[in-house]
Amino acid sequence: MFSSLRGFFERHRRKIVITGALLGGAYALGKLAHWKLSDWYETQQVEFLAQSKKQLHFDGNQKTCNTTFYSLLPGLQDAIFELVDSEAITEKLKNKPSDKLLLWEQLKILSFTRTVTAIYASSLLAVFLRVQLNLLGGYMYLDVEGVADEGTSATPEESRRVYMSDPTQKKYLGIVRYFLEAGVKDLVGVVQNVVEGVLGSVSLKQKLSYHDIKRMLGQIRQCLKFSSPEQLIEGSTTSQLKISSIVLPKDSLSETDVIFSQLLNETADILESEDFQVVFNTCLDVGFMFVMKQIKSSFIVDQQDTPPDMICSIEDGLCSIHLPLAKICPIVNGKATEVFSEDKNDYLHDVVSLECVKSFAANIYEAFSSKPRV
């Protein structure tokens, strides 16, 4: 029997060797594949957990942005209303003063200045907070991850980060106070300069339609340009001002805190970027649409109750009317309060929910939570 087996192996030696090699190779490949698969799976798990952790940190940061935005609105409203004190003019007019014509002219300018400033300031605050908190959030995420990586085999390049002290964080977060206390004053000055250029020659007795007011507000907005020049352009109804000069302290150049100066410089770069302008203008679109929607209700009345000489157009039994500018001023003035009202305010909700705002915030956070720090 053994001789026959020996003969069988001798006759089929080559086949047996090849088969054995194939089986051995298959086994080795299987073990290698299993090891590679296990390694890949482990890597995927680590990356997934890291991304989940980062996403949770980002989501928490956005909630902080929204909470901070709403908490700062009352202070912003108070600052604007104190600077553009139309109520004081209204109280004087109640006493029928001798200079009432002059006071009405002032009320005309202040009414439009107050509401336009409310739109610009609230939109700017919403987007600026996204810049500030996501830039800082990116730094803080790297700091936390850097501490967690200590003692690991991270490369020097991977370990580069900025350790940010609590005082530096607080100082950077506090710059929004500059906007609320000083920057908004500059903004009011720019807006009032433009409003005077657009409405200064319009008579208070002139009758205007809803579309006339919409056109005037559009003209005011067209004249408000925030770009490179820091100074107002004299002799022109177009005012140009750097966004960064409104929201960032003017004495920041003398800062000796290197990290704080770096934060300010990076913030200024973002504020002057094209992406910021696009997002800011989209927020302004939402704000002006909200105000015009509120104003429109004052121009739409029932046809039966309307004198024929006031009717501008009729549609489905409702009239769009003309009103003298003197009657329109209090209407426009009141819309500033509605801009800041959190009760049933589509504008505030829409501004913080815009997809472009969310994407802008995500891009900033990703940029500053991923790139190496020198």
Q: What is the pLDDT of residue 359?
A: 96
Q: Would residue 156 count as lying in a domain?
A: no
What is d(CA 221, CA 223) in angstroms, rounded to the nearest whole number? 5
Report CA torsion sign: 17, 18, 24, 27.
negative
Q: Would residue 154 count as lying in a domain?
A: no
Report CA torsion sign: 17, 19, 21, 24.
negative
Q: What is the pLDDT of residue 251?
A: 74
Q: Would residue 270 count as lying in a domain?
A: yes
Helix (H, G, I), strand (E, B) or coil at 316: coil
Q: What is the pLDDT of residue 225?
A: 76
Q: Would residue 351 count as lying in a domain?
A: yes
pLDDT mean values, one per 10 residues, the chain (374 residues)? 56 60 62 57 49 73 92 96 95 89 95 98 97 92 63 47 78 93 94 95 92 94 68 46 86 73 93 94 96 88 56 54 91 95 86 95 91 50
Length of the chain: 374
Q: Which two tokens mark 208?
A: 């205007």
Q: What is the pLDDT of residue 203?
A: 95
Report CA torsion sign: 19, 20, 21, 25.
positive
Q: What is the pLDDT of residue 316?
A: 47
Q: What is the pLDDT of residue 186?
A: 93
Q: Label the pairing between strands 323-324 and 318-321.
A: unpaired
Q: Would residue 155 count as lying in a domain?
A: no
Q: Structure pTM?
A: 0.80
Q: What is the pLDDT of residue 234?
A: 44
Q: Give the ranges where the chain is alpha helix by DSSP (H).
A: 2-11, 13-83, 86-94, 100-149, 156-159, 166-173, 176-178, 184-199, 210-223, 243-247, 258-271, 274-296, 325-340, 346-353, 355-370
The total number of structural domains in the chain stands at: 1
Type of residue numbered 119: I
294: exposed, middle or buried (Cβ count in 10 Å: 0-12, 13-18, 19+): middle
Q: What is the pLDDT of residue 148?
A: 46
48: exposed, middle or buried (Cβ count in 10 Å: 0-12, 13-18, 19+): exposed
What is d(CA 70, CA 345) in angstroms, rounded to the nearest whole number? 12
Structural domain boundaries, residue 246: 9-147+161-229+238-368
Rounded to 5 degrees, what angle do the CA atoms 56, 258, 185 make? Answer: 80
Q: Would residue 301 count as lying in a domain?
A: yes
Q: CA separation (Å) from 342 to 41, 69, 71, 210, 290?
A: 48, 11, 11, 25, 13
Q: Would residue 71 count as lying in a domain?
A: yes
Q: What is the pLDDT of residue 18?
A: 65
Q: Would residue 374 count as lying in a domain?
A: no
Q: Are 177 and 125 in contact (CB under 8 A)?
A: no
Q: What is the pLDDT of residue 299?
A: 82
